Each structure stands twice: as structure tokens, then as C-alpha cells.
Structure 1
Amino acid sequence: MASRSSFLTFLVCTALLAVLFGAADAQGLRVGFYKKTCPKAETIVRETVAGFVAKDATVAAPLLRLHFHDCFVRGCDGSVLLNSTKGRLAEKDAMPNLSLDGFYVIDAAKAAVEVACPGVVSCADIVALAARDGVELVIDQSITREDRAAGRARVVGSEAVANLPSSFGEITELKANFARKGLSAKDLAVLSGSHTIGNAHCNAFSKRLYNFTGKGDRDPSLAPAYARKLRSQCPRGDETSIVEMDPGRAVSFDTSYYVRVVNGKGLFHSDAALLRDKVTRDLVYQYTGSASKFFRDFGVAMGKMGSIGVLTGARGEIRRHCALVNA
């Protein structure tokens, strides 16, 4: 675990990033956006998240994943929260998002904020704040990202399939996917570190165990002993069981994920792929020995991701209920 001072460093870096974006757009990203319009907004979200984390610490990972999945499809606009309508598949019901969780936390936070400040705080911001607070609560430190994103009316589910990185992705594919969002290879390596918390369904990686190239083989980048353990947890054809992405540390936000990647124990093929590029490989090795560097870089990368496609002014709406567009 890094010292508190190292966390303060990355807090400053991320806050500065938000200020820079705010300078570019007076109505866009800036620190303290709700200071006057809803001064208790962050406190309300944090207390709501803390209540759920106190009951089940594993909820922190789904909240972080919600923010990631939201930002990678049309930007950070809260669209991942919308329900499907007749004849139109929503983002949350697309195949890559069927395992998303934590919606109930966002709904509870939104309801509480609406009582204090009706029609002021966007669902997108609540997703971002909840992700920050969830991680903070499992490491007793924080990631700062304050902005305003009003949320588009609807996202077609097929866009989630097209935009979200695949857990089976090769390094060139993953880098290209991140580049399309204005994120670098370094951001890819850093944000992959979020796999240090949370769980995954067997179908997200079982191909590595039973049919990697279509010939009934195992992914050679997967450590044999770890593959045998995964097979015992996920029998062939099992699509419902879940396993910890970082066994024994699923609620500890730290750098043990990178140690596992180095040792061939990253759960996804996309984890192993990080070792096939000089930039990402070097960072993986650096983070195994420097938690402070990882936490600092993670804060900055989260700030960059949180700025993707942010909507301001009249380009969206502040939804009264995050799952529904306003009537």
C-alpha cells in the first residue's frame, strides 16, 4: 500500500486535469461544479455508496466497471443506465454489458440527490462519483473526477459491442480501441489495473481454457497450474459461475494484478496481451514494484477517461430517473 502522500500527488494531478478541461470550456469540466447549485451532492453520493460498501465491499468493482463501460460508448453520458424500449436495445442489455451490476447503488444515490437538489445533478456525474467513492472506500484514498455530463437520450445496444474492449482482445486491437477514445497505450496498461478488484463470469475467459484456437486447446500464455484451477471452477459449458479476477484480493485495490499478469495468471487474454507491447509490458513490470506510481497514474488515466464525450449545456438532459429519459 502506498503512502497517503503518494495518493495526494495523484489527486492533485487529476484535479489539475479537470481544471484544464474546464478552462477549455467554461460550462464543461471543472472542479467544484456543483458547489453552488448542489453543495451536498458529493457528500450524498459518498454516503450512499459507503452504506452499500459497508454491507458488501464487492460492490466497489461493479461501480468502477459501470463508469468504464459508460465512457467507452459515446462518452461519459450515463447512457449505460438507460432501459431498453420496444424495438430498441439499450446499451445495458447488449451482450458485453449483461454482467454489469451496481445499478441499484446509482439509483439510490440519484434518488437521494434529487430530494436535495431536483433536476441539478446528472446521472453521468453520479456514476463517476460513485466509481471514485467505491474505490476510495476499499483503499481509503480517492480518485478525483468532477465534471458535468447530461446524458444522451438513447444508445443502441450494438454500439456497446462495437466500442467496448474485448476480454479476448490482442494488444494491437486493444491499443486501437483505446486510441479511438483519445487514450494511450499507457492508459490501457493503467486502467487494466482495475481488474485487481471484482469478479468475472466464466464465459468471459473459458475459451482460454477449452478452445483457444478452435482446436480444443488452452491459451499458452495462461500458467498451466492456474488454468487447471480455473477449469475446476468453470467446467466446460459453464456460463453462470463467477470467479475472482484477483483471487483472495477481490476487494483490495492494489498492484497484485500486475504480479499475476507477469506470472501468467491474468484472468483475461487481454491481460496477458499487455506483455506483448514494449510500452504496456514495461509499465506492467514497473507497477509490480511501485504502488505509488500506479495509484498516481491511475488517477490521471481516470481523469482522461472521464472526459470522453462529456456533454454540457443543452446537449443533453438531467434525467429525473437514470434508467429513463424525461417525458
Structure 2
Amino acid sequence: MRAVAPAETGEPIRKVRVESVDKIADAIVAISLVSLDGDALPDWQPGAHVDLLMTENLIRQYSLCGSPADRMRWRVAVLHTPDSRGGSAWLHTCVQPGDVLPVRGPRNNFRLAPARRCLFIAGGIGITPLLPMIEAARGQPDVDWQLAYGGRSRSSMAFVHELEQMGERVEIVSEDESGVLDLDRILGEPRIGVAIYACGPEGLLTELERRCRSWPPGTLHVERFRADAPTGGSAAGAETFQVVAQQSGVTVDVPPDRTIVEVLEERGIYVPVSCGEGVCGTCITRVIEGDPEHRDAVLAEDEQASGELITPCCSRSRTPRMTLDL
């Protein structure tokens, strides 16, 4: 992943101070961030995340899991994964209270929509974006909500003690004690008026998508850690296609082993990139002409179907030529 200069994104980069770093579960730390001058931080809504610019070439996204009502601090929780590409390892081993970090955001691709009944389903560290959503649901007496939260063991599950105080609406299931989440029981029969929000490992989200096909369209809302490979294809493209950057007047060929972003960058056209995997939404670009082959996990189904937007960090073109608003 390349470094992203502030001018490339148009989004302001601010510096925050690490207020605390606390171990809250096996291999998970909660990091509290405050402004340098003691002023309130920018407003945000449940489902939002921030970019942490940890080193020159290391940018990662983390869900805000504190309270939106607390304007003085942001909280993120970070799992140190065995296959870490550097982000979680750096935050676990290098960050100390008092350190200053550049951040960008907040940005929200996982918004909480109005609903009379909300079902939250979390797997492991996927609990983080759901916590502010649960707080919002609890603050509305007319909203019926439930949480099903699964993990390998209770010691590996973040915020368990906090959630246990919420009573019978919360179901905590650890594999070493009770097995995996019983999704058929948790979901029940398809019905109207339910919003399902889920975040966690890909296996959990795939199973939820399969089971929710018979539910009303738009019922299930998911946030992924990484984008899927396209159905029936691999991560690499099958054919070369052309991309026209209309504003710049540049046309490039994008071969099967390169991304749109990489090829355009070589011609001096810098597209804002953060995750590089189609999960953060930083690089979303308007399509003027052509048919995108979507490989992201951030655009909604209707946005993908419209063909008007693309994430050029990972997506490709189904047509031989595509024109972008760049």
C-alpha cells in the first residue's frame, strides 16, 4: 500500500494524541484519542471509521467504537492478527500514551438506518462498529433490538463485560463453551421491518447473506474487513482494458496484473487511496462511460447496479473502454 499525501484525498489530516492504550481482551487493545489542543473532535455517527496514518507507508481504517456523544475523544479497538500486514502489529507494539498520530476522517460507509427492530450480529472484533449502533438503539424506547455476539472464547472477545450489563437483549456465545452462533435460530423467519447489521469474519457474513436472500431487499447491512474476489473470477483481471481520465485528458491501458490506480499514478494522476482493497470508500470515483466490474465491499447493491461509481483501487471494467471523472 502506498502512502497517500493530503493533497491526493482532499480530506483534512489532523493530529491527535493517544490518551490511553488498554488491553481489553486477548490480543485486543482499546486506544483512546484526543485532540492536541483540548477542543472537541469532529462529529460522527454510528458505523463511522477513521484512517490512522501510522507511518509513511502504513494507513489503516478502524471503526469508532466509543460514544458519538463524547466529542472529546475517539475510541478504536485493534486486534493483533497473526497475518497482520503491519497495522495491528504497529499499534500493539509501538503506540504509547502521549504519542501523536495523524488521522483522517471520520468517514461512514455503514450507516444506521431508521428501523423499528434492529438485529445486530457480530463475530470477534466485528463488534466494534456495532457498539455505537447499539447505544443509538438503546436511546430510542420504540426500537426493539437484540445483539448476538460470537467469538472463539470469552477472553478473546472485546467489551464482553460492558455488553453483559445490557441484559437479556444481548447473547454472547463463545465457541469453546457453546459452539458457534445458531444463525437459523437468531434470524428466525423472514419478516418485514427488521434491519440486520453484521460485521465479522468473512465466513459469518457469507452465511448471513445466504440466509437473508429470502428476506426483504435491503434488510441486511454488512461491513467487511476485506473485499471479496469477484464471483467467478480471481483477484487479477482476465483482460486488458482502457481507462480514459476525462478531466486530465489521459488514456491508459490497464493490464490484468495492474490496478486502475497503479496505472494512472504512473501518468501523474493520483487517486486517493487508503485501504487498497475496496472497503474504505476513499477512492470512489464517478463513472462517465463504461460498465464497472465491482470488486469492492463498500458500495451498496443499488450503487453497484447503477454503474455510476467505481472503486478503482480494486475494481475493473467489463467493457473494453471506461471513462472516469478524473
Same fold flag (TM > 0.5): no
Larger Rg: 2
The one of the two structures with greater contact order (alpha-carbon pairs below 8 A, sep at least 6) is: 1
> Normalising by the residue count of structure 1, what TM-score does the alignment of the two structures yield?
0.29
> Normalising by the residue count of structure 2, what TM-score does the alignment of the two structures yield?
0.29
